[in-house]
Amino acid sequence: QVQLVESGGGLVQAGGSLTLSCSASGVIGSGSVNPMGWYRQAQGKERELVATIILGGHTNYADSVKGRFAISRDYRKNTVYLRMNSLKPDDTAVYYCKGTYYGREFWGQGTQVTVSS
């Protein structure tokens, strides 16, 4: 059974930084979870894409985070990271990791990011 486990969320002041990590377990093969990405859901809002990365390194970002967030991955470890800089209160949300493994999508349990003003 594939599991995605996020870590790194927390409380940070506006302007601060956090790095989220998401590791996939129960998979076989380096880079076999592809693509991987981050989504977020703020209270009372729909879940939205934050950033994705595919095999080969191509990335995609939501306009609201371009220039502030950076997604990267360790293919050998099937782990994806999200470096978040210049955080704003509007970035407050539960952040979810998503990965696709042989055509099936899997989600992590989510990690809370709270940005205080």
Reported as a single tens digit per residue, the pLDDT across 36-88 is 999 999 999 999 999 999 988 899 999 999 999 999 999 888 899 999 999 99
Q: How far is 94 from 66, CA to CA, in rounded Å?
A: 19
Note the pLDDT of residue 68.
98
pLDDT tens-digit readout, 96-114: 999 999 999 999 999 999 9
Q: For residue 41, give every residue at least 6 positions away whose Cβ sits within 8 Å of its Cβ, in sequence order, or none.
A: 47, 48, 93, 94, 96, 110
Type and span of the H or E element at 111? strand 111-116
Q: Give the pLDDT confidence score for residue 58 in this predicted structure.
A: 95
Residue 75, pLDDT score: 86
